Structure 1
Amino acid sequence: MLAVALGSACLVGVGAPAASAATASDETAKLPIASFAGLVVDDAHERLYLTDGSRRSGKSAVLVYNFQGQKLDSLPTDGPVSGLALSADGATLHVSQSNRMLTFDTATQAASGASYTSYDVNCGREVAVAGGKTYFTETPYNDANCDDADNYTTLQQVENPYPLNTGWGVRGRIKLESGPGAPDRLVLGQAGAAAGTDAFLTTFDASGDSLVRGPSRRFADAGGAGALDLKDIAQSADGRRIAVADAAYGTRLLDAGDLADAPAGYQPLPEGAKASAVAFSGDGKYVARGAAASGSTPDLLIQPADPAKGTTALEFAFEDELAGLRVVPQGLAWAKDGSRLFAVTSDGRDGHWLHVIKPPVAQHDSRFTGTLGTTPAKPVVGEPLGIRGRLELDGPAPAGPVKVAAVREDAAGTQEVAEARVAADGTFTVLDVPDRVGAATYTLRFLGDVTHRPAEDVAVTVDVAKAPTAIELTAPAEAPRASGVVITGRLTGQGRALPSGIDLSVTRTDKSGTTGELTSAAVAADGTFRIKDLPGKRGRTVYEVSYGGDALHAASSARATVRIT
């Protein structure tokens, strides 16, 4: 693991490449806010705008930071503020205050106007720009309990601040989102509703004079399980996908056309992490997924936006109470060119921090080279088998561990095999213990990471044989016919333990060539056995002891020659 110090913050990057080791997270800043409501990136002026989400803080301000995490200014307000958004041309910042919608000129930072709205005490507003118009949510009647599912929430326009007829009965707290990938699309999602509510997600076409509702979806099944616990919404750079941070499920990736699950989704968040935020980079390369987790469990994952381009993520765990413990809801935003990710973290109380994270700037190819080899050359069931190979990575050498995944397919089906760590020279050995006789095909995979694309799978088929056994005999060279012959021995086997209750067959062949079968020899738990015989003739006598084998072990035999006197 790669540990990156962020002032007093501790991040853990898993599989982080050397190119990003020094720049993975360059800045962290303590924010002078007790709660968090919104984050907007102004790429044209390289500024960040953040608002305090406290609804009873009296006079508040919009904080202004640069892309290096340094505070530049604050925009004064005369009441609590919440949501904010940039106009379509980026020239105006719209800020929701408790009793009005404020506007600021992004070039001069000067206040440029205000429009009055219903008075909001507790709930705050969501603000988004779509179709060239600025929309905001309003909970005008019962904001003493913002999460009450009976609240009737309206959607309004700054340009025409009257409730809009959306054709959708909006109840409870609402999240509102738009994005440059689909500039005319507005996404609404129900959040914070009472327990048991089957929360909805829906889209609107905002290109015309009035909103046109598109597809909608609820997520609970017939038994009420699987309901949406919405924390954040993001639209991909090409507008084809909508990602939802669902605290009850993880990161849902949906088809924007019908809100159905995308053909391929992201891997689950680490166990114990609950989704809190999601954001796509403007260049279309990456997705950032934020979470609330404890201890060393990752709170932030950065990975290719397209799941088909690799599922391995760059992971960060925020573990320092002096720099945040988790990513707050809606606390992620990218610079348009994907060069920086801005993340807001919280200590779970009233402490908040801004982190500036620089992901790798390029992805490089990877490939398996040469042919796969096996050790031993002839594998047997129940014994370790090594699959040797080499992985080649273009670009900078990774600073953290790189691993190769593998699966074994045999007559019993498909089984995952433990990952193999790749050495500095690219070599690796996948270790497995096959448990079935016959052909077994091993498929090796490198799923890629933030800086490397996945490699094309390679495979090798091996013929797994039964494990060998051996019989060792101890017999006298001579024995008098009157007192008989005593032979002792031991049966041993490789692989799985030999079964209990084994009986060995014993034959005796005298000097005249006559062969007779003796009483079988019982094998003790430690593999030992004892044979006693009273031969009928003097002279050279051959004793043969045989084991017939079983489903996992091969047959074996041994001979001892005794001269009977």
Structure 2
Amino acid sequence: MRRRIPRARLLLTLAGLLGLSLGAAPATQAAPTEEGTVLPIAYHCDLAVDPLHQRVFISDYTTGSVLVADYQGRLTHTIKNLPGVCDLELSADSRTLYAPLALGDAISVIDTGTARQRARHTTGTGTAPFHAALSGRTLYFGYGEQWGASIGSLTLDTSTPKVRLGLIPEGDFSGAPLLATSTAAPGTLVAGDQNTSPGTLAVYDVSGRNPVLLTRVRDPGSASNFSDLAVTPDGRTLLTASGAPYHHPTFGLPGLAEGHTYASTSYPNAVAVSSRGDVAAGVDSIEPDPDVYLYRVGADSPYRTVFLAPATGYDAGYLRPRGLAWAPDGTRLFAISGHSDEDHLRLVVVPSAHRPTTG
């Protein structure tokens, strides 16, 4: 069987991870190959694509670092001393990256131009913020462990950003919930449970001071253990990836009515939608199945499929959970892949991913 990389937060201690960020160090890894760029990490949590500086940011919880690569996949910097870094949320102007630090009980604010930490906002001892999503000038973050989890916020439109905790009741989610928003619907926040089967989705109105629950659905589309969430550019549709069922369903917002289904295979673990509306549906597949299925919005068949290298037979390269991100212009797709025979991950760049072929 394929060796899985376990969730690092179950394996690590705080030793060696605490401390303030001291800036970015130049990376020394080799240039990318057709099999992708070898990364000096064995686990990742999230990735974000910065169109302003044409950079890709990759967070690694285990080493407490964020790797920085260019659009060709070449590593350029490593931002260190970010204990338990997980989600990466890019500001609307692409100048700032917000990163929850689960082992640092803080939100790190990173300058995307210099690849250095600009500020760090404490969220409180033992809060362990993992996931984040921007809605207007407020950063919402999912925090906490097990049934003590909740959602907090960091207001960004004041001279002194303010942290608020406990915006939803503890126990609504069995761990820090995944969060998703869309700039087209700034008052809508979607939350999903990563740890339960059947799964739970909730939609909140966050246009006021306190979130107002609009919809909460248990077992939506018979889905469980959500791995990834994405909202379409118009803010009207939620796409999900979960261990089951073996396809990528969609749900209307805010009511979460089941919508179109994008066919894939076992086991769905990533989803991303481009500014053009193209859907990348990723799976942790076993060869000969593809790793990524690319769809036009609402299509019944993919216009293209992607196999992640290295592919060496039954135990081929696989896609990491939440391992997909589009360049904001919708032309280039970035993927994080692994292989059971390797102790490192790879950054794979798929150029012209909006086209049916690479030619």
The aligned counterpart of 2:238 is 242
Tell me, what secondary structure is at the counterpart of 2:87?
strand
Q: How does 1:80-479 map to 2 (within 5 A)?
A: 80-97=84-101, 98-99=103-104, 100-119=106-125, 125-139=130-144, 143=145, 148=146, 151-159=147-155, 160-166=162-168, 169-173=171-175, 174-193=177-196, 197-219=197-219, 226-249=222-245, 250-262=247-259, 264-266=260-262, 268-270=263-265, 273-284=266-277, 286-307=278-299, 310-318=300-308, 320=310, 325-348=317-340, 350-359=343-352, 361=354
1:330 counterpart letter in structure 2: R
**1:118 and 1:138 in contact (8 A); partners too:** no
Against the structure 1 CA distance between its residues 124 and 136, is the aligned structure 2 distance closer, same or farther, given a 3 Å change threshold?
closer
Residue 66 (structure 2) pairs with residue 70 (structure 1): no
Q: CA deviation at 1:67?
A: 1.1
Percentage of identical aligned residues: 26
Q: How does 1:443-522 map to 2 (within 5 A)?
A: none
Tell me, what secondary structure is at the counterpart of 2:224?
coil
Q: CA deviation at 1:133?
A: 0.8
2:243 counterpart letter in structure 1: A
Distance in 2 of aligned mates of 1:359 and 1:399:
6
TM-score, structure 1 as length reference: 0.52
**2:61 and 2:83 in contact (8 A); partners too:** no
Structure whose CA Rg is larger = 1
Q: CA deviation at 1:357?
A: 0.8
1:108 counterpart letter in structure 2: T
2:207 counterpart letter in structure 1: S
Q: CA deviation at 1:186?
A: 1.6
Q: Higher strand fraction: Structure 1 or Structure 2?
A: 1
Alignment counterpart, residue 65 of structure 2, candidates 61, 64, 88 = 61
Against the structure 1 CA distance between its residues 315 and 362, is the aligned structure 2 distance closer, same or farther, given a 3 Å change threshold?
closer
Q: CA deviation at 1:64?
A: 0.9
2:112 counterpart letter in structure 1: T
Give the gaps of 5 or more residues in structure 1.
Answer: 1-5, 10-27, 364-397, 401-565
**1:102 and 1:114 in contact (8 A); partners too:** yes
Q: CA deviation at 1:119?
A: 4.5
**2:180 and 2:230 in contact (8 A); partners too:** yes
1:200 counterpart letter in structure 2: T
1:68 counterpart letter in structure 2: Q
Once the two structures are superposed, residues 73-103 of structure 1 have per-residue CA deviations (whole angstroms, 9 ceiling, x without a partner) of 1223253322221234332211222222111
Distance in 1 of aligned mates of 2:37 and 2:187:
34
The aligned counterpart of 2:16 is none
Alignment counterpart, residue 40 of structure 1, candidates 21, 29, 48 = 48
Tell me, what secondary structure is at the counterpart of 1:62?
strand
Tell me, what secondary structure is at the counterpart of 1:44?
coil
Once the two structures are superposed, residues 506-556 of structure 1 have per-residue CA deviations (whole angstroms, 9 ceiling, x without a partner) of xxxxxxxxxxxxxxxxxxxxxxxxxxxxxxxxxxxxxxxxxxxxxxxxxxx
TM-score, structure 2 as length reference: 0.79
**1:324 and 1:352 in contact (8 A); partners too:** no
Q: CA deviation at 1:230?
A: 0.8
2:235 counterpart letter in structure 1: G
Q: CA deviation at 1:304?
A: 0.5
Q: CA deviation at 1:227?
A: 4.6
**2:286 and 2:316 in contact (8 A); partners too:** no
Give the gaps of 5 or more residues in structure 2.
Answer: 1-31, 156-161
Once the two structures are superposed, residues 218-251 of structure 1 have per-residue CA deviations (whole angstroms, 9 ceiling, x without a partner) of 1179xxxx35221100101111211010211121
